[in-house]
Amino acid sequence: MYITMQVFVYISALVCISRAYKSSPYSIIESRLCESITEPQEGRGASVMTDLLNYYYFLEAIKEMIEDGEVKGRNMLRFIGRDGPALLKVKYDHKLLQKKFQWGEEELFLFNRTLRKLKELWIKLLDMF
C-alpha cells in the first residue's frame, strides 16, 4: 500500500511537470535516462539509479491500471507503442558507466538487474496490448 501511494504521488508529480513542459512523464524520465546512459557524467550514478527505479515503478503502475480495467493504463501503453521503451534499446558501455558513476560491482549488478526486470515487465505489458 505504501509503495503504491508513493508511485501514485510520483506519477502525479510527473504529470504536473509534464503538462507544464508539454511532454509526457514517460518521455521526461526516458530521455533523461537515455542521455545519462549514453553520455555518462561523473557523479550522476545515484540519480541514474533513482530514475531507473522510478521508470520501473511507472511501467508497473501502467500494468496495475490495465489489470484494474482503467482505460488510462491502456492509453499510456499505446503512447509507448509496440516497439517498447527506447531505454531498452540503448547501447551502453558497462565499464564507462562504472568509471564515470564510480560504481562498484554491486551497483553495476543492480543497474543490469533493474534493466533486465524492465525488459521482463515490458514483455508482460506487451501481452496486455
Are residues 3 and 63 in contact, defined by beta-carbon separation less than 8 angstroms?
A: no
Q: What is the pLDDT of residue 91?
A: 93
* Polymer length of the chain: 129
pLDDT-derived band of residue 22, with 50, 70 and 90 as boundaries? very low
* Mean residue pLDDT across the chain: 86
Which among 93, 94, 72, 85 is positioned nearest to 119, based on CA atoms? 85
Give the C-alpha separation, 20 to 108, whole Å: 34
pLDDT-derived band of residue 1, with 50, 70 and 90 as boundaries? low
Mean pLDDT of 45-55: 93
Beta-carbon contacts of residue 2 (< 8 Å; ≥ 6 apart) = none
Convert the pLDDT of each residue in 67-114 to its tens digit. Answer: 999 888 888 888 888 888 899 999 999 999 999 999 999 999 999 999
